[in-house]
Amino acid sequence: MPSTFHDDLFAPDAIRDPYTFFGTLRDAQPVRWNQQYQVWIISSYKQLVWTARHPEYFSSEVALRDTQPLSPTIPEEDMELFGAVRQWLAARFTQNDGAKHKEQRKVVHGFFTPKAMESWRPLVRQTVSALLDDLQGSGQLDMMRDFATPLTYSIIAGLMDIPESDRAFVKELSSQNAVTDYLKPIVAERVREPGDDLLSVICRGEIMGAYTRDEVLANALLLLVAGHETTNDLIANGILAFSQHPDQFKMLRSDPDGHIVDAVEEILRYDSPLKSVQRIATQNIEMEGGQRVGKDDRVRWVISSANRDPSIFDNPDDLDISRNPNPHVAFGSGVHHCLGATLARLEGQEAFAALAQRFEGLQLETDPADLEYLPSVGQRTLLNLPITTR
């Protein structure tokens, strides 16, 4: 292993360029114990897929089982707050295993099938068009602030049928408690009289006995506050990628309808919005390379690295919107495959197609080295994205 490799998952080089950081690790030791953060790092495609498809060995109940945050040391006085956050996280259906996960996921699965999502395409297309109409001729834009975030928030608020008059107010609420307090009377009303919206679908889970009221609120909060962030990142990362690869944007412009599906899949692979996912080992396990993962050990698989694994993808560091097949794992694999993948794909398709139809090019207005990312192990989130459209 190169002597230059280090274990600091929050170091600037790891945040700015996870592909080099984890790629070096993947090529040297695809399953490795990170001593600094006390976690096994899974960085190869093959090992990621294997761990994802064996939930009996790797639990999703991270909030319940892991009593310490995977982050730089937090002050002792913040541990009570961390405990409250753990309780909120544990109420999400994504944090469950086995039969409970299956039962709770089933409640909302029908809303996100490809056929069901297609019925929302006109809304997404209209929202994209209206946003771009407002931005046309504005000169330099922050495409994260001005386009990606308002687009994805507007869509999820619409799917949940949050009153339009409340949406700006809810978006500005700064704490989960404040958003939860806002949602409580709406949830109570939708439990009494459910409609066809996504929030009503979750509320039906309480009526069916699959969710408690606290779980309804936690999952509603997940969708409204955090559920659209992955799609934000998909769209922003894609705009950045196209600004740096004008030949690929030109190809998309030449036939948006013909290229858009493969283009979105390639953006998902090339700069995945979710960098990594954590699990907890349920028993002692010997991995393929002989590493012995202990019961209750943290295990974190790195999507960013797996999606650029040269044993799976030809020229993995190249953006190629004609790449097909493209078996990326941007949405995970196995029974915990991201439920919102269909919605993210739909929004990505409509956003990138509209950009290609309206603009000849996307010009990044800063040195790529100066772009700032959220200091997160899990998310690939640009803090700003200065772009001029041509």
- What is the dihedral angle through the alpha carbons of 22, 23, 28, 33, rounded to the nearest 10 degrees? 20
Query: In the predicted model, is pLDDT for residue 170 greater than 70?
Result: yes
On whether residue 3 sits in a domain, the answer given is no
Cα gap 114→130, rounded to integer Å: 24
pLDDT for 263: 99
Give the CATH number of the domain where residue 69 resides: 1.10.630.10
Q: Give the tens place of pLDDT for each residue, 7-44.
A: 999 999 999 999 999 999 999 999 999 999 999 999 99
Determine whether 162 is exposed, middle or buried from the number of CB atoms within 10 Å of its CB (0-12, 13-18, 19+): buried
Is the separation of the CB atoms in 141 and 133 below 8 Å? no
Q: If pLDDT is split at 50, 70 and 90, which confidence band does 4 have?
A: low
Q: What is the pLDDT of residue 343?
A: 97
Could you tell me if residue 219 is inside a domain? yes
Q: Answer whether residue 247 shows pLDDT above 70.
A: yes
Question: Do the domain assignments include residue 60?
Answer: yes
Q: Is residue 378 part of a domain?
A: yes
Tally of domains in the chain? 1
Sign of the dihedral through C-alpha 202, 204, 207, 208 = negative
Q: Which residue has the higher pLDDT, 177 or 253?
A: 253
Please list, residue by residue across 327-352, b when 16 or more beta carbons sit within 10 angstroms of its beta carbon and e when fewer do: ebbbbbbeebebbbbbbbbbbbbbbb
Does the pLDDT value for residue 176 go beyond 90? no
Helix (H) or strand (E) holding 299: strand 298-302
Distance (Å, whole) CA 185 – CA 295: 42
pLDDT in tens, 347-381: 999 999 999 999 999 999 999 999 999 999 999 99
What pLDDT is recorded for position 241?
A: 99
The bridge status of strand 58-59 relative to strand 362-364 is: unpaired
Give the confidence band of 2 by pLDDT, cuts at 50, 70, 90: very low
Name the token pair of 312. Answer: 């799976």
Per-residue confidence band for 227, with pLDDT thresholds at 50, 70 and 90: confident
**Which of 85-99, 110-124, 142-156, 291-305 has the least mean pLDDT?**
85-99
Residue 343 counted as domain residue: yes
Backbone angles phi, psi at 290, to 5 degrees: 95, -5
Q: Look at residue 165 and tell me if it is in a domain.
A: yes
**Confidence band of 1 (pLDDT split at 50, 70, 90):** very low
Domain span holding position 276: 12-389
Residue 2 is assigned to a structural domain of this protein: no
Q: What is the mean pLDDT of residues 100-112?
A: 96
- By the 8 A CB rule, do 240 and 233 touch? no
| pLDDT at residue 3 tops 70 | no
Q: Helices marked H in the chain — which ranges? A: 12-16, 18-28, 45-52, 62-65, 79-90, 98-109, 114-118, 121-135, 143, 149-159, 164-172, 176-192, 198-208, 213-221, 229-244, 246-254, 256-270, 303-306, 341-358
Domain assignment present for residue 1? The answer is no
Give the per-residue pLDDT at 73. Answer: 66
The rounded distance, in Å, linking the Cα atoms of 307 and 224 is: 28
| Length of the chain (residues) | 390
